[in-house]
Chains A and B, each alone.
Chain A
Amino acid sequence: MSGMFVHNLRLGAASLRRNVLLTALMIMSIGFGVAASMVTFAVFRAVSGDPIPQKSSRLFVPLIDNRGPQYNRHGEPPSALNYVDAMALMRAHKAARQTMLFPVGLSVMPDDPHRMPFKAVGYATYSDFFAMFDVPFLYGNGWGGEQDDARAPVIVISRALNQKLFGGSNSVGRQITLDDRQYRIVGVTDTWDPKPRFFDIFNGNLYADPSQIYIPFTYAMTQHIDTYGSNNCGSDGKRGDSWDSWLQGECVWISPWVELDDAAQVQAYRQFLDGYAREQRDAGRFNWAPNNRLRDVREWLDFQHAVPPESRISLSLALGFLVICLVNTIGLLLAKFMRRAPEIGVRRALGASRADIYRQFLAEAAMVGLAGGALGLVLTAMGMLGLGLVFEPQIARLAQLDASLVLLTLLVAIVATVLAAFYPTWRAAQVQPAWQLKSN
């Protein structure tokens, strides 16, 4: 059987050499079609992947309508919380884990006075952040709940920042100065940068550079550290003139996250949110029925249109292109196989069964597919190099030609070609031996 298969492949290779123009056309057609699909698929995969697959169904964004139907867009509550509601959720502590976060941008003052200060960006958040999002640590750990309560000036820095400031050595316990304030380093994260950055969609930082620092939310509040991201006061809101008026007002700027382990907890949390909104209504703050949302990571990415429409359009376009290339291949294979009707007639007359003809021609098609796949691979690699010219560098960087993509390219090429070959092969197998011999 395998000897026959090798024989068939040899016949295929010989036949391909016999008709160079047709063969070249087919290989090019498949190569281009596959390459276009693979390049756009790589981008699509990069931007539409689940950034935290192991937990995406257990992490939720709770949103509370603090604007009311008058000011909402399409009845949706704002995409973040104001300080009052954020604090209420933290105090209630109704989820297994919960955190609030907002971006901070602080100037790092190097110890060496000859080095220039530079901006480091990251998040002010709560201690649960690290466990909730599975943040890996190189040295030390995140801070604990007691440091949240104590409003302690502690900090977790990224591996890259640790490299820059401390040459990569264990800096846990050392001090660092940011914007004239001293922080004690408690942990250094390992390389960690989920793409898209699902936990900060509110600020549009989906593909931003990796964050470098994490400080306690509570400490940031004592120091009046303002958000480095968006502050949305709604169509009729006002920020007010002081720190306190801002905190007490209805401007939203805090991204909330809770971890809920099963459907019962999710249900309970929904009830808690509705109960809270009713309380606020009874207290006179809201004059509308509870209008809350609780979405998990995937629903949240979907709702916020985290996948750029560009990548979706280009993917469907490339798939359409692949279909055209396959139609083309069917036609070319048909031309190629039918040209050999006399040869088929002779083989059939000499005792080859229909199944033999099938095997021979499908093997030949597989060869074409393989060659097309090889060409497609080269074109895909070139396409990936060119991605930076086309897509935003942040997105292009994510799309990579890895082993799985190489395999997929070859597989798609071969499977597609063999599929395309079924009809032409069937036609070839229908050739009547006697008829062909007679006409010659």
Chain B
Amino acid sequence: MDILPILSTLRRHKITAFLVIIEIALTCAIVCNAVFIINQRLDRMSMQSGIDEHHLVHVLMADIGVTKDQKARSQEDLATLRQIPGVASVSSVMQVPFGNSSSNAGIKLDPKQNQPTLNATLYSGVNVVRTLGLQLMAGRDLMPDEYIDFDDVVRAAAAKDAKSVPHVVVITQGLAERLWPGQQALGKQLYISDWPLTVVGVVKELIRPYIENDAERSYSMILPMRESRGEYIIRTKSPQDRDSVLTAAVAKLKEINSHRVVLKKQTLDEMRHDFFQNDRAMTGLLVGVCIALLVVTALGIVGLGSFWVAQRRRQIGVRRALGATRSNILRYFQTENFLLATIGIVLGMVMAYGINLLLMLHYELPRLPVIYFPVGAVLLWIIGQLAVLGPAMRAAAVPPVVATRSV
């Protein structure tokens, strides 16, 4: 196929050719970035939490006014919850993954440090490792005799009483790797303000309840503290039990003490769903826009292609009369589209890169991976070829006799 005649024809239809090129370029630039953002969001939405989500439910009660004997009440709640059929394990906690509300502390590796090394979240509650279904990678779980009541810890910390604060901690692999890269974390010490804590266990993963920065999502610690603030995580024996357990749990808790209100009752699956609402929104929107964009671009190519074919019916007839075959004509239009698409794609890649730089600047997006360029190019080539097929076939069907007609 000779490209030169195509180029000379295009030179005579500069504006129309330019429109096709611009359209393909813009589509290429936007779709590349949109697909990139979609992928980022999908990655985020499939984030590992480290907990056994499908077996867990969450209940948060709030007392009306001040309750005096919170600890005893909490023990009573726990005992009652454990007796509900289908319940495998219960913990009274301070925060839950996907809960969006968290307690955090600065961690130092040396008590004399001015600035904390990083900021990590504090999980606590008896048996949390087992109830959440965390996977212990090294060391051990917290021991029953290590737990201290949360209130006592606060009091001891205020009184500078070093004996009555926790001395051990279980941390995530992500946190261990960040604090002591490439080293064994077990037995190492970290500090929360001046209090030393020894790492006795490392769990595979446990994400923070509220994620401000994705890179720090695994910075979690579990402290041996007993909580009694009316927040419970219940692990069911099987996923089918969750609804019945949740209903029974709320009913029982109200039965023991009606002087309180239910603030939250949900499965962890529901919490996860809500947690990623924005990401899902963005993904849905972007997928919709991408499809619409590609469809519009394809329609544009169909429209302009038809126009060109209609305009050149006589020339096509003449070429056919002079011996060009149908497939020559077909190939001609396909090659023309391929040329335009290629110029558009090259331009589009440059624009895609520019948009990516802008997004990196304003929305902290990473750099567009190189793989997007060839994939985007192939996609647009295919769309261009499919869109031009109809008009090109119509062109190929022009009979040579058209050359002899005057209109």
Shortest B249–chain A CB gap in Å is 17
Tell me if A239 and B154 are in contact (CB < 8 A): yes
Contact among B119, B157, B307 for A235, CB-based, below 8 A? B119
Tell me if A332 and B304 are in contact (CB < 8 A): yes
> Is B78 at the interface (CB under 8 A from chain A)?
no
> Is A328 at the interface (CB under 8 A from chain B)?
yes
Supposing A29-B296, A309-B363 touch, asked if A320 and B30 sit within 8 A by C-beta, the answer is yes
Residue of A with least CB distance to B300: A328
> Is B393 at the interface (CB under 8 A from chain A)?
no
Tell me if A105 and B23 are in contact (CB < 8 A): no
Query: What residues of chain A lie closer than 8 Å to B253, measured between beta carbons?
Result: none
Query: What residues of chain A lie closer than 8 Å to B296, measured between beta carbons?
Result: 28-29, 32-33, 321, 324-325, 328
Residue of B with least CB distance to A240: B158
Distance, CA A239 to CA B19, complexed state (A): 64
Shortest A72–chain B CB gap in Å is 10
Tell me if A389 and B284 are in contact (CB < 8 A): yes
Tell me if B303 and A332 are in contact (CB < 8 A): yes
Distance, CA A40 to CA B286, complexed state (A): 11
Tell me if B30 and A332 are in contact (CB < 8 A): no
Supposing A314-B282, A334-B307, A339-B307 touch, asked if A328 and B297 sit within 8 A by C-beta, the answer is yes
Tell me if A117 and B302 are in contact (CB < 8 A): no
Tell me if B157 and A338 are in contact (CB < 8 A): no
> Is A323 at the interface (CB under 8 A from chain B)?
yes
Query: What residues of chain B lie closer than 8 Å to A234, measured between beta carbons?
Result: 106
Query: What residues of chain B lie closer than 8 Å to A21, measured between beta carbons?
Result: 303, 306
Tell me if A179 and B65 are in contact (CB < 8 A): yes
Tell me if A339 and B26 are in contact (CB < 8 A): no
> Is A160 at the interface (CB under 8 A from chain B)?
no
Residue of B with least CB distance to A40: B285
Shortest A102–chain B CB gap in Å is 16
Tell me if B281 and A324 are in contact (CB < 8 A): no
Binary CB contact string for chain B from 23 to 52 against chain A (1 if under 8 A, 0 otherwise): 100110110001001000000000000000
Tell me if A310 and B116 are in contact (CB < 8 A): no
Shortest A181–chain B CB gap in Å is 8
Classify the secondary structure of A's interface with B.
Answer: helix
Distance, CA A240 to CA B281, complexed state (A): 41
Distance, CA A235 to CA B104, complexed state (A): 8
Query: What residues of chain A lie closer than 8 Å to B106, measured between beta carbons?
Result: 234-236
Supposing A331-B16, A334-B19, A423-B15 touch, asked if A238 and B158 sit within 8 A by C-beta, the answer is yes
Distance, CA A179 to CA B66, complexed state (A): 8
> Is B292 at the interface (CB under 8 A from chain A)?
yes
Tell me if A327 and B300 are in contact (CB < 8 A): yes
Contact among A28, A107, A327 for B23, CB-based, below 8 A? A327
> Is A36 at the interface (CB under 8 A from chain B)?
yes
Query: What residues of chain B lie closer than 8 Å to A324, measured between beta carbons?
Result: 23, 26-27, 30, 293, 296-297
Shortest A298–chain B CB gap in Å is 19
Tell me if B289 and A180 are in contact (CB < 8 A): no
Tell me if B286 and A328 are in contact (CB < 8 A): no
Query: What residues of chain B lie closer than 8 Å to A245, measured between beta carbons?
Result: 158
User: What range describes how many residues of B lie at the interface?
Assistant: 35 or more
Distance, CA A25 to CA B297, complexed state (A): 11
Shortest A199–chain B CB gap in Å is 20
Binary CB contact string for chain B from 298 to 332 against chain A (1 if under 8 A, 0 otherwise): 01101110110011000000000000000000000
Tell me if B293 and A70 are in contact (CB < 8 A): no
Interface residues of A in 389-405 (CB under 8 A from B): 389-392
> Is A282 at the interface (CB under 8 A from chain B)?
no
Query: What residues of chain B lie closer than 8 Å to A335, measured between beta carbons?
Result: 16, 303-304, 306-307
Residue of A with least CB distance to B159: A241
Tell me if A321 and B30 are in contact (CB < 8 A): yes
Supposing A236-B116, A339-B310 touch, asked if A117 and B303 sit within 8 A by C-beta, the answer is no
Tell me if B26 and A241 are in contact (CB < 8 A): no
Query: What residues of chain B lie closer than 8 Å to A40, measured between beta carbons?
Result: 285
> Is A281 at the interface (CB under 8 A from chain B)?
no
> Is A109 at the interface (CB under 8 A from chain B)?
yes
Tell me if A390 and B281 are in contact (CB < 8 A): yes
Tell me if A331 and B30 are in contact (CB < 8 A): no
Contact among B114, B158, B277 for A241, CB-based, below 8 A? B158
Contact among A241, A332, A392 for B155, CB-based, below 8 A? A241
Query: What residues of chain B lie closer than 8 Å to A440, measured between beta carbons?
Result: 406-407
Shortest B208–chain A CB gap in Å is 15
Contact among A32, A236, A332 for B193, CB-based, below 8 A? A236
> Is B22 at the interface (CB under 8 A from chain A)?
yes
> Is A276 at the interface (CB under 8 A from chain B)?
no
> Is B263 at the interface (CB under 8 A from chain A)?
yes
Distance, CA A334 to CA B16, complexed state (A): 8
Query: What residues of chain A lie closer than 8 Å to B302, measured between beta carbons?
Result: 25
Tell me if B285 and A28 are in contact (CB < 8 A): no
Residue of A with least CB distance to B192: A236
Query: What residues of chain A lie closer than 8 Å to B297, measured between beta carbons?
Result: 324, 328
Shortest A25–chain B CB gap in Å is 5
Query: What residues of chain B lie closer than 8 Å to A423, measured between beta carbons?
Result: 15
> Is A286 at the interface (CB under 8 A from chain B)?
no
Interface residues of A in 299-342 (CB under 8 A from B): 308-310, 313-314, 317-318, 320-321, 323-325, 327-328, 330-332, 334-336, 338-339
Query: What residues of chain B lie closer than 8 Å to A116, measured between beta carbons?
Result: 261
Tell me if B300 and A332 are in contact (CB < 8 A): yes
Shortest A337–chain B CB gap in Å is 10
Most buried by A among B26, B37, B158, B307: B307
Most buried by A among B280, B282, B285: B285
Shortest A236–chain B CB gap in Å is 6
> Is B375 at the interface (CB under 8 A from chain A)?
no
Contact among A107, A320, A389 for B64, CB-based, below 8 A? A107
> Is B184 at the interface (CB under 8 A from chain A)?
no
Tell me if A323 and B26 are in contact (CB < 8 A): yes
Tell me if A179 and B158 are in contact (CB < 8 A): no
Distance, CA A440 to CA B306, complexed state (A): 22
Interface residues of B in 349-365 (CB under 8 A from A): 359, 362-363
Interface residues of A in 212-263 (CB under 8 A from B): 234-236, 238-242, 245
Query: What residues of chain B lie closer than 8 Å to A179, measured between beta carbons?
Result: 64-65
Tell me if A117 and B363 are in contact (CB < 8 A): no
Distance, CA A180 to CA B278, complexed state (A): 39
> Is A22 at the interface (CB under 8 A from chain B)?
yes
Tell me if A331 and B62 are in contact (CB < 8 A): no
Interface residues of A in 280-302 (CB under 8 A from B): none
Tell me if B285 and A70 are in contact (CB < 8 A): no
> Is B115 at the interface (CB under 8 A from chain A)?
yes
Binary CB contact string for chain B from 237 to 251 against chain A (1 if under 8 A, 0 otherwise): 000000000000000
User: Beyond the given A21-B306, A331-B20, could you list 12 further A-B residue pairs with CB under 8 A, ordered by the A residue number?
Assistant: A109-B64, A235-B119, A236-B106, A238-B158, A245-B158, A324-B30, A324-B296, A327-B300, A328-B296, A338-B307, A390-B280, A423-B15
Write 21 A-B pairs (CB below 8 A) sorted by A numbering. A22-B303, A25-B302, A32-B296, A36-B288, A240-B154, A241-B151, A241-B155, A242-B158, A310-B278, A310-B282, A310-B285, A317-B285, A320-B26, A324-B30, A324-B296, A327-B23, A331-B303, A335-B303, A335-B307, A389-B284, A440-B406
The 9 tightest CB contacts between A and B, nearest first, are A335-B307, A235-B106, A328-B300, A107-B64, A241-B158, A180-B65, A331-B19, A179-B65, A390-B281
